[in-house]
Structure 1
Amino acid sequence: MAPSISVREFVRWLPEQASEPTSTLVLTSAESRFVDIRIFRAQHGSEVVEATEGEINTLPSSRLEWAFAGTSSTELRHPPDGGQAVVHSTWKHWVDCRKVDVDGVVDEGDMYPKAGGRTLETGSMVDPATGKLTEYEEMWKDLQPVAVGQDSEEDGRKGCVVLQLQDDEHEARGVVVRVGQYVQGVLRVGKRFSLERWEWKGKEEGWKRLVRIGDLWVPCGVATEEGRLEVGGEVKHGEFVWKVIEHSYF
């Protein structure tokens, strides 16, 4: 499958009205590995607060609604009444800000294509505000990946990179995914959790970290350095070793 960049436009917990309290971005690689980060928006304004020059730009954990990573899959399901088939998607969690043990944690939803490159997702999951299993709707919009940085801007090749960390001795798991102009990464070490989101801001500004939560080192910046990465390579920092498990152009 082609790598994708998805932005959530709203969530609706039935029968309530639709709203979007977060900045939610999902990056999915060619081999269906994803990082999904949902940051509560600033109290005033619609954007996640970005750092000005010289700022570290670390947000408090209270700004984190949810962040997780894993693998996704889709299948075509045919209803027993012979009606129209539905695309059913499954997201298996491998690391999650809400749970240390994520074995068996799976999200599922039915996907309905809409106009303008949008997709309506429906299903049931626990509403974090109530703690109850609730039917929901989410509207997603796909963004067009672009060629940036050291990608071949002349022929329009877009980069896709995935780095992964698994260190069972230290209870550490992490995933970084880059698709085109965005990079996102999450890392759990025991009970500690950190994340980062980066975006390419053009040739003059280059790559910019939009947000960070937590104080663990997450190699999102490394994922932008095309020249030093190849599948099977490693990125070492302290006692941890991140492995490059995907690196391709599309």
Structure 2
Amino acid sequence: MASISIRESIRWLPDPASEPTSTVVLTSPGRRFVDIRILSDVAAAGGEVPAAGLDWAFAGYSHSEARDGARHCVWRHFVDSRSTVADGVADEGVMFPAEGGRALETGRMVNPATGRETDYEEVWVDEDPQGSRCVVLELKNDERSERGMVVCLGGYCQGVVRKGEAFALERWQRVEGDGWKRVAYIGVLGLPCGEAMKGTGLVVGGTVECEGRVWNVVEVCDL
């Protein structure tokens, strides 16, 4: 099931909840996702994001299963802004239904402010992507240290790419009456977000070329 998840708050126990970022996670029906977290004031300004303005960005594959009225979720990273080698990096959390159709995620991970593993709570709200098209493009060329993923879903398109030490991301939003706008980006590596947003002629098993890098079309579907 596809989802557009927007984080409303994070709480590092026992501190109070807050939301220092603009965090959007796009997840395809095939459970591929792109998760981009930009500091709120930087995201509000739009345009190029300075290195200090990025909290975290990563992409990969998710899995969940029902357990005792909740869902245990695992997000395995394929590309990560914090690591040149994402293999083996994974997050785990437990999702509980919350008030107003929201979801409460609980778990334990490293608090970047302290560098220590800490219990956390995150509150998420989902936007309904039904009636939209989902396109997923994936780059994997480990001989050239190149990996990337683009997910276009509903009114959002997000992509991340890494080539060795170089990392780049883009976030696009569709503005009513004004079309697609690139609202945030980092780095100079090209991403095929334009092709994903157009979707013209894309079929699963096909390819898209961007700056000499060949991206695979891994998902195309109408929701």
- The TM-score range, normalised by the shorter chain, is over 0.9
CA distance in 2, matches of 1:85, 1:5: 22
Structure with greater proportional helix content: 2
Q: For each residue in 1:193-221, what CA deviation from the matched residue of structure 2 results, as whole angstroms up to 9, or x when unmatched?
A: 0000011112x311111100111101112
Q: TM-score by structure 1 length?
A: 0.86
Q: Offset at 1:234?
A: 1.0
Q: For each residue in 1:31-80, what CA deviation from the matched residue of structure 2 results, as whole angstroms up to 9, or x when unmatched?
A: 0000000001117xxx5223xxxxxx222111100000000011123xxx
Q: Structure 1 counterpart of 2:19, which letter?
A: E
1:155-174 maps to which residues of 2 (within 5 A)?
A: 157-174=131-148
1:54-203 maps to which residues of 2 (within 5 A)?
A: 57-77=47-67, 84-145=68-129, 157-202=131-176
CA distance in 1, matches of 2:6, 2:49: 20
CA distance in 2, matches of 1:238, 1:68: 21
Equivalent residues of 1:61, 1:214 under 8 A apart: no
Q: Structure 2 counterpart of 1:170, which letter?
A: R
Q: Structure 2 counterpart of 1:40, which letter?
A: L
CA distance in 2, matches of 1:85, 1:212: 39
Partner of 1:14: 13
- 1:205 and 2:178 equivalent? yes
Q: Which structure is larger by alpha-carbon Rg, 1 or 2? A: 1
CA distance in 2, matches of 1:221, 1:62: 26
Question: Where does structure 2 lack aligned partners over 5 or more consecutive residues?
Answer: none
CA distance in 2, matches of 1:209, 1:238: 18
Equivalent residues of 2:191, 2:210 under 8 A apart: no
Q: How many residues align?
A: 223
Q: Offset at 1:106?
A: 1.0
Q: Structure 2 counterpart of 1:216, which letter?
A: L
CA distance in 2, matches of 1:126, 1:188: 23
Q: TM-score by structure 2 length?
A: 0.96
RMSD: 1.3
Partner of 2:195: 222
Partner of 2:45: 49
CA distance in 2, matches of 1:63, 1:238: 26
